[in-house]
């Protein structure tokens, strides 16, 4: 089980991490070091580019004047977190356990997809970073290990960006010719409860002077935080949106996802309609299938009804096993292959577009719902 310290260190971090700063913020930081000597803007752009190109400390930034590098060393750091552990799965998935500046541990995952979904070797074309936004999670979803750990705190923008940086470091150890092209914000925590830090992290990752990620290749996954969906609809980021709905039967959903009780399904559907109207994007409905719990015809028909008049695709996720997770006193079980086939058949008969999540990283507790299990 992932270990967290008993209490948080609330001492203010004196050295600000540059990883979570935009170019204007870096410029402000540089000029605050010596107010009498204005530093040209191009130095801030250089720093931003160096950080995004993998420089982890100021010693690696030989392009900077020595005096400036020394001054930065006293008042800032490039990254505020570090790699505590690394796990590599047989399918090539890499999971990093990162230690934050206050000693808290979080997890982030690098996924690789083969063209056509064939081989699972990491040396393929399509690389995805799975990022966390919180340490622990307040939502309490019964099928998710992170949800069973409780909530510690929101992550800073720098701590979200640094997950990407560390994963990118790992990819370059394998191949410098490849890059991470996609991001899924589906790691530890509920992203829409930390939307400010997430929005800033996405701004940094999409900056043309940095990684130049496309917002259309970023997917933010939520348990259904309605006010957060409205905030995204009106203020961005203009990414893809995925919503976890293990059951469209209200009573069962609230038992499986206690944190969503204040966000009933009719309100959620109205807010998704607004998001879709503003962003013109198809919405992914993520449904974790639990053996003998949410796979019967009533569940299928409820999902079909919920998706009516929305442009959606349902992504089915057969539950990834985690030790000691229970639902109302009974140990959770994976759905049987026939359960999955029947559920897909019922959804398709109702006119629903259905995909099934390919399981990666299960051997290192890096798959959906497993983060924090090691």
Nearest CA to 340 out of 271, 287, 285, 282 is that of 287
- Collapsing DSSP to helix, strand or coil, 108 comes out as strand
What does 32-98 look like in DSSP terms, one character per residue?
Answer: HH-TTSPPPHHHHHHHHHHHHTT--SGGG-TTS-HHHHHHHHHHEES-S-EEEEEEE-TTS-EEEEE
Sequence-distant (6+) residues with CB within 8 A of 21 are 29, 48, 158, 204
130 tagged catalytic:
no
Per annotation, catalytic residue among 28, 71, 107, 286: 107
Note whether 191 and 54 are within 8 A (CB). Answer: no
Nearest CA to 347 out of 257, 292, 285, 293 is that of 285
Whose tokens are 């994976």? That residue is 334
Note whether 218 and 263 are within 8 A (CB). Answer: no
Per annotation, catalytic residue among 141, 206, 226, 368: 368
Tell me how far apart the alpha carbons of residues 291 and 300 are, in angstroms, rounded to a whole number: 14
Whose tokens are 């590098």? That residue is 69
141 tagged catalytic:
no
Sequence-distant (6+) residues with CB within 8 A of 267 are 226
For 68-104, give one letter per residue: b (16+ CB within 10 A) or e. Answer: bbebbeeebbbbbbeeeeebbbebbbbbbbbebbbeb
Tell me how far apart the alpha carbons of residues 348 and 350 are, in angstroms, rounded to a whole number: 5
Q: If you compute the radius of gyration of the chain from its CA atoms, what whole number of angstroms results?
A: 21
Q: DSSP letter at 118?
A: -
Nearest CA to 201 out of 163, 166, 235 is that of 163
Supply angle C-alpha 108, 44, 26, rounded to 5.
60
> Which residues are marked as active site?
107, 368
């Amino acid at each position: 089980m992932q270990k967290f310290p008993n209490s948080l260190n609330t001492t203010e971090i004196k050295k600000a991490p540059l990883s979570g700063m935009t170019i204007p913020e870096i410029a402000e930081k540089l000029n605050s070091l010596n107010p009498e000597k204005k530093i040209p803007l191009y130095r801030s752009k250089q720093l931003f580019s160096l950080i995004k190109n993998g420089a982890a400390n100021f010693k690696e930034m030989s392009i900077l004047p020595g005096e400036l590098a020394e001054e930065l060393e006293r008042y800032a750091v490039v990254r505020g977190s570090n790699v505590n552990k690394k796990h590599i799965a047989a399918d090539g998935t890499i999971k990093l356990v990162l230690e934050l500046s206050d000693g808290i541990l979080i997890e982030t995952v690098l996924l690789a997809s083969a063209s056509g979904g064939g081989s699972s070797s990491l040396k393929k074309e399509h690389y995805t970073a799975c990022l966390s936004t919180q340490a622990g999670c307040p939502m309490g979803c019964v099928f998710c290990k992170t949800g069973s750990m409780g909530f510690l705190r929101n992550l800073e923008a720098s701590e979200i960006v640094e997950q990407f940086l560390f994963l990118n470091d790992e990819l370059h150890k394998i191949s410098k010719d490849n890059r991470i092209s996609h991001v899924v914000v589906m790691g530890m925590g509920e992203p829409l409860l930390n939307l400010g830090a997430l929005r800033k992290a996405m701004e940094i990752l999409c900056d043309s002077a940095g990684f130049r990620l496309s917002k259309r290749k970023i997917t933010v996954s939520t348990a259904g935080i309605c006010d957060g969906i409205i905030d995204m609809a009106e203020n961005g980021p203009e990414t893809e949106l995925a919503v976890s709905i293990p059951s469209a039967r209200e009573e069962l959903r609230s038992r499986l996802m206690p944190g969503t009780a204040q966000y009933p399904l009719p309100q959620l559907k109205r807010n998704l309609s607004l998001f879709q109207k503003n962003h013109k994007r198809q919405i992914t409905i993520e449904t974790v299938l639990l053996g003998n719990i949410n796979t019967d015809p009533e569940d299928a028909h409820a999902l079909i009804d919920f998706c009516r008049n929305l442009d959606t695709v349902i992504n089915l996720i057969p539950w990834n096993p985690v030790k000691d997770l229970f639902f109302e006193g009974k140990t959770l079980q994976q759905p049987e292959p026939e359960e999955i086939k029947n559920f897909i058949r019922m959804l398709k008969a109702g006119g629903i577009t259905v995909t099934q999540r390919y399981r990666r990283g299960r051997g290192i507790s890096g798959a959906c719902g497993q983060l924090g299990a090691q």
